[in-house]
Amino acid sequence: MADPTPPAARPRAHDTREAVLFGGVYGAVLACSMVAALTQYGHTSAASRSYDAVWLLVTACASALAHGYAHHIAERVPYRHWDLLHSLAEEWPLVVAVLPTVFLLAGAGWGWWPAKGVEYPAFYLNIAILFGLGLVTARWSRRSWFAAVLIGMVDALLGVIVVVANAFIK
């Protein structure tokens, strides 16, 4: 059975690649920012790192829900429950992008590696994720390797800006 909603009133379907890039970049920058904020006060115990991991995951989920809801509202289409749920579900890349940082923080909390200084590997990891996302999505868009590397470097620069800002703020 065909959808009776006129095409102009249907929400715009977001491309999976667009969602992965946007959510991935947003999530990696969010992870950098949260690690910078959570480690600003020098709490480096295992318990504080476990707390940081949980707090980062909760923040990512809340951000994804808020962003999905904002997308749904911005579409200005007749309200349908499934559309809202679909808008919320499309935000999965944001949450997935913070999971490596959650893992690093949780691992420090569980004693797998030192809790002190774990923010530096987290920053490097997120900068690498940003570079990789830029590179891969640029190649998906059929950009040359040179352009893809430049785009990856610009994306990575977002993470570097957070790291530099954190250094100045401390």
pLDDT per residue as tens digits for the range 68-124: 777 777 776 666 666 667 777 788 888 999 999 999 999 999 999 998 889 889 999
Rounded to two decimals, what is the model's pTM?
A: 0.81
Number of domains the chain is built from: 1
CB 148 within 8 A of CB 139: yes
The alpha carbon of residue 49 and the mean position of all alpha carbons in its chain are separated, in whole angstroms, by 19
Give the domain extent around 154.
15-169
Q: Is residue 10 part of a domain?
A: no
**Does residue 32 fall inside a structural domain?**
yes
Residue 106 lies in a domain: yes
Residue 92 lies in a domain: yes
Element (H, E) at 77: none
The CA distance from 159 to 155, in Å, is 7
The two three-digit tokens of residue 143, written as one number: 């950009």
Q: Is residue 5 part of a domain?
A: no
In a domain, 122, yes or no: yes
4 is a domain residue: no
CA distance 45 to 75: 45
What's the CA gap between 93 and 97, in Å, rounded? 6
- Give the tens place of pLDDT for each residue, 112-136: 999 888 988 999 999 999 999 999 9
